């Protein structure tokens, strides 16, 4: 009798738990059916994916001006807060840092799942959208999937130029797949480029940016409409970045030139962007943004790590004081980057400027990168043209500058260091070039190695059979 009662109780408990799980699952399904029953639901879901990317744990902080820029040694080696020293020393075994890296992996794949869900519903119920909106939604979703997977590869995989058959990452192309397959690096690159080509096919004619030129808009918030998303030129720009990282300089050159030739973006213009009233200064060079992410909390979050905290009785040092800004820019007050992005050595790129005119945002791809890609890609085959692209970039940054007539690889790296603070791109440049990371601490530069450049895969991936 006791045995029967125990079994009955267990069955009732099991049924109750299953019922709760089924209720939650059915609620989610009803919500999704309702969300994707209208065109606006698809648009809102896509906006949600961009918002996920703009959160502090991803591009809103860690993958822009925090984790990746600490690894690139932009910040004062000896003065940063104790909590950042494991970053500084590439101590990926540190429990706190390891937890944060695991969190980045998890949040990136969570965003990929959101994007895959949009793609899944587009296949199921895309007819509720107008044809051009349907193509735009699908194109952006595919492009985001490629962007996110590629950055996972840049963080968690070795450089493909050393071993095309090295282990890559799980490339997730389906919503709800618990164990997506792990591909080789070469296969991962093919999948990224395949998604980008498919995205281009959908967006080429359907993209609203075809009918506008963002930098010509007097309303900068309206201009953001076309660049705060993966537009068709962001796809081509990302392809240039992917091909350069892969070592295919010919295709990197092709796509970087295509973006520049489109004339949808322009390098910083002193007359319209700088020599204006203080409230209208374009601190972050928004006319160059090909793809950026908006987040109204960026100034506050940047201030929390880049500035000291003062009270009536005490002052707490900044968590991430910038390193040698005068050394990086040769203390050249004619360099607009040095003039606008720093104030007495403090990093002000995201804390200065009128947020009513320019929405707080993080640039993920900008026109300056296309010039740097061309400079690097053409260095061996057409030195004069390579130099021409770099001089053009420098003229848009530095007043009264004289053109260079001689160029070295170190000159190119110097310009990358000056161009990328707060954007998370310099660390990847060091990795792509297999260059020692410059260190102003007096202890010498840090030799390149996988122990620096490759993040550890989360343990749970090994436990579930991914490795």
Domain limits of the chain? 34-209+218-459
Q: Is the pLDDT of residue 157 over 70?
A: yes
Residue 253 Cα distances to 242, 247, 258, 288, 448, angstroms: 11, 11, 9, 18, 26
Q: Is the pLDDT of residue 63 over 80?
A: yes
Q: Please tell me the distance from the alpha carbon of residue 277 to that of residue 217, in angstroms, as a whole number.
A: 18
For the segment 434-444, the average pLDDT, to the nearest whole number, is 86
Rg (the chain; Cα; Å): 24
Range with the poorest average pLDDT among 18-32, 89-103, 159-173, 238-252: 18-32
What residues pair up with 293 in beta bridges, in sequence order? 362
Range with the poorest average pLDDT among 54-58, 172-176, 239-243: 172-176
What are the pLDDT digits (tens) for 189-198? 999 999 999 9
Averaged confidence pLDDT in the chain: 91
Q: Give helix 2-35 / helix 39-53 axis angle, nearest 10°.
A: 100
> What is the pLDDT confidence band of residue 2, given thresholds at 50, 70 and 90?
very low
For the segment 384-406, the average pLDDT, to the nearest whole number, is 97
Q: Please tell me the distance from the alpha carbon of residue 251 to that of residue 152, in angstroms, as a whole number.
A: 22
Q: Is the pLDDT of residue 309 over 60?
A: yes
Q: Hey, how many other C-beta atoms are within 10 angstroms of the C-beta on 374?
A: 26
> What is the pLDDT confidence band of residue 180, given thresholds at 50, 70 and 90?
confident
Q: Which residue has the tokens 């109750």?
A: 16
Q: Taking the model in full, what pTM does it have?
A: 0.92
Q: Is the pLDDT of residue 464 over 80?
A: no
Residue 244 burial (C-beta neighbours within 10 Å; 0-12, 13-18, 19+): buried
pLDDT at 449: 96
Smallest CA-to-CA distance from 73 within 451, 435, 445, 351 is with 445
Smallest CA-to-CA distance from 401 within 236, 299, 268 is with 268
Q: Please tell me the distance from the alpha carbon of residue 1 to that of residue 450, in angstroms, as a whole number.
A: 64
pLDDT at 179: 73
Range with the poorest average pLDDT among 93-107, 150-164, 342-356: 342-356
Q: Please tell me the distance from the alpha carbon of residue 54 to that of residue 17, in angstroms, as a whole number.
A: 36
For the segment 261-287, the average pLDDT, to the nearest whole number, is 95
For the segment 52-72, the average pLDDT, to the nearest whole number, is 98
Q: Which residue has the tokens 């309206």?
A: 222
CATH topology of domain 34-209+218-459: 1.25.40
pLDDT at 101: 98
> What is the pLDDT confidence band of residue 460, given thresholds at 50, 70 and 90?
confident
pLDDT at 366: 98
Q: Is the pLDDT of residue 47 over 90?
A: yes
What is the DSSP secondary-structure string of 56-114?
Answer: TTTTTTTTTTSHHHHHTT-B-TTTS-GGGHHHHTT-TTSHHHHHHHHHHHHHHHHHHHH
């Amino acid at each position: 009798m006791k045995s029967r009662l125990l079994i009955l109780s267990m069955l009732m408990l099991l049924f109750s738990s299953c019922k709760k799980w089924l209720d939650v699952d059915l609620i989610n399904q009803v919500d999704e059916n309702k969300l994707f029953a209208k065109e606006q639901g698809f648009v809102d879901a896509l906006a949600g994916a961009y918002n996920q990317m703009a959160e502090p744990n991803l591009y809103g902080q860690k993958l822009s001006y925090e984790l990746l820029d600490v690894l690139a040694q932009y910040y004062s080696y000896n003065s940063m807060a104790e909590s950042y020293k494991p970053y500084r020393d590439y101590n990926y075994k540190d429990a706190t840092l390891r937890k944060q890296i695991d969190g980045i992996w998890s949040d990136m794949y969570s965003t990929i799942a959101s994007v895959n869900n949009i793609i899944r519903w587009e296949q199921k119920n895309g007819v509720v959208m107008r044809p051009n909106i349907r193509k735009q939604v699908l194109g952006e979703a595919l492009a985001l999937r490629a962007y996110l997977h590629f950055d996972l590869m840049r963080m968690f995989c070795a450089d493909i130029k050393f071993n095309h058959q090295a282990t890559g990452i799980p490339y997730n192309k389906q919503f709800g797949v618990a164990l997506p397959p792990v591909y080789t690096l070469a296969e991962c690159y093919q999948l990224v480029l395949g998604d980008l080509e498919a995205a281009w096919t959908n967006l080429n004619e359907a993209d609203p940016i075809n009918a506008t030129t963002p930098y010509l808009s007097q309303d900068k918030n309206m201009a953001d409409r076309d660049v705060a998303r993966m537009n068709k030129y962001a796809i081509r720009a990302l392809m240039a970045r992917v091909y350069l990282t892969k070592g295919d300089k010919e295709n990197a050159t092709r796509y970087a030139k295509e973006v520049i030739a489109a004339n949808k973006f322009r390098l910083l213009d002193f007359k319209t962007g700088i020599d204006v009233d203080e409230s209208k200064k374009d601190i972050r060079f928004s006319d160059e943004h090909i793809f950026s992410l908006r987040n109204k909390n960026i100034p506050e979050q940047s201030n929390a790590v880049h500035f000291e905290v003062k009270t009536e009785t005490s002052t707490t040092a900044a968590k991430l004081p910038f390193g040698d800004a005068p050394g990086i820019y040769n203390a050249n007050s004619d360099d607009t980057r040095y003039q606008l992005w720093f104030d007495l050595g403090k990093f002000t790129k995201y804390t200065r400027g009128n947020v009513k005119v320019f929405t707080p945002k993080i640039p993920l791809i900008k026109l300056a990168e296309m010039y740097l890609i061309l400079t690097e890609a053409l260095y061996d085959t057409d030195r004069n043209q390579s130099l021409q692209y770099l001089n053009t970039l420098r003229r848009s940054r530095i007043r009264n500058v004289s053109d260079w007539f001689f160029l070295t690889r170190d000159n190119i790296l110097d310009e990358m260091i000056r161009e990328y603070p707060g954007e998370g791109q310099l660390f990847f440049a060091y990795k792509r070039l297999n260059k020692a990371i410059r260190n102003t601490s007096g202890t010498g530069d840090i030799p390149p190695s996988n122990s620096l450049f490759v993040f550890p895969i989360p343990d749970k991936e090994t436990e579930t059979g991914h490795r």
